[in-house]
Structure 1
Amino acid sequence: MDQPPRAEQQLHRKLLAERYGPLDRLEAERFPTDVSAPEVAAGASEEQWRRQVREIAARYGWRLQYHTADSRRSDAGWPDEVFGHVGQRRTLFVEFKTDSGRIRPAQREWLAHLSDAGLEVAVWRPRDLHTVLRVLGPARQRATLPPTFRKAVRMSSPFAAELNRLHAEIDRLVTVHRLAARLARGLAGHLTDEPYRLADQLAGLLEGRLEPEDLGDERTTD
């Protein structure tokens, strides 16, 4: 059978796009990337897990994606990611955690508020991959908070405020730690021989590649 003329093929694609939207989005919804195996997400860090879900969302046509790259100067508690699907007219707020990660009080307050306002809200961990696929994929399952989300122990205001303060201090120390590792790594690139070895060991400690016991008798004492 003869192939239809190129002009006819282009007209056909144009009519499909006008009726159903961008064809690349249609293809993404019909033929998403194969991520059905739970082991794909197993052991992922929070950032790795977030990036993986972004890729899945993009394949399913969630073109609108927002993430605050540096939240250190932002108010605490806002979800990690906001997804928008133009064709489905859906907006999804997601907090990402590792399988053992804890939800902080400010995060819990924002997530509960968004959910109570009637918006789609989720807390997704690597073990929730199948749920992620059902929410983002053709099943179009509505995102909801975990059943145990509102059963968390409520603390009095002073304790909650102190916990938030401690979390903020931990965040600051983690930021300082990462910056120190970056500076040590940069310093090592400009040194040679013994100074380089010491700077490399310092970077290794800060980056988690080395433990104090790995240095043996080279540790200094006051």
Structure 2
Amino acid sequence: MTRSKAVIPKEWVTHKTKIPKGTIPSSFTMTAAELRAREINSWSEKLFQDNVISLATGFGYILIYHTHDSRRSQPGFPDLVLVNPRTKRVLFRELKSAKGVISKEQQQWADGLRKAGADHAFWYPKDWVSERIHNDLRGAANA
């Protein structure tokens, strides 16, 4: 669905005039899903990681490794190693903020782990919204 830009009457722009009730253009409104997606995309990497760990625990990942101080670890090593002994799954995940950029070292680790047959991926907050993270943790097909 494409939204057109709202035209705000000039008289509304001054600090003296309040916007009359019931006159906010429909293009300014957001659905609950859009509002939630916006909130999730503003998560810090720390909050994102905390939420992922909580979700992973709920899916039975009882062994979870994350580096507390990346300055003392191998550059580019993934943020999380998630192990679920019940489902016999091991996931290597690099978490990025909505604006996060993949470093050269992170890409090298990703390529090496994938070539060795490991399940590696980069996760962004948008992947929480799309439920990709949930599907990956569940082991759903096409996750």
Q: CA 1:43/1:103 → structure 2, altered by over 3 Å: closer, same or farther?
A: same
Structure 2 unaligned residues grouped into runs of 5+: 1-35
1:47 Cα shift? 1.2
Higher strand residue share: 2
Secondary structure in 1 matching 2:64: strand
Q: Which structure features the higher share of helix residues?
A: 1
Query: After the TM superposition, which residues 53-68 of structure 1 pair with which residues of structure 2 at under 5 Å, given as runs?
Result: 53-68=52-67
- Counterpart Cα distance in 1 of 2:142 and 2:79: 15
Moved over 2 A (4+): 37-42, 141-144
Report the structure number with the largest CA radius of gyration: 1
In structure 2, the partner of 1:135 is 136
1:111-152 deviation line (CA, Å, top 9, x unaligned):
110011111011000000110011113xx13687xxxxxxxx
Larger RCO of the pair (alpha carbons < 8 Å, separation 6+): 2
CA RMSD in angstroms comes to 1.8
| Equivalent residue pairs, number | 106
Does the Cα contact within 8 Å between 1:92 and 1:143 map onto a contact in 2? no
How far is 1:105 from its partner? 0.3
2:99 matched residue in structure 1: 100
- The code of the aligned residue for 2:46 comes to E
| Counterpart residue type for residue 77 of structure 1 | G
Contiguous gaps of at least 5 residues in structure 1: 1-36, 145-222
Q: Is the partner of 1:72 in helix, strand or coil?
A: helix
Q: Label 1:91 to 1:143 Cα distance change in 2 as closer, same or farther (>3 A).
A: farther
Partners of 2:41 and 2:97 within 8 A in 1: no
State the match for 1:44 in structure 2: 43
TM-score, with length taken from structure 2? 0.68
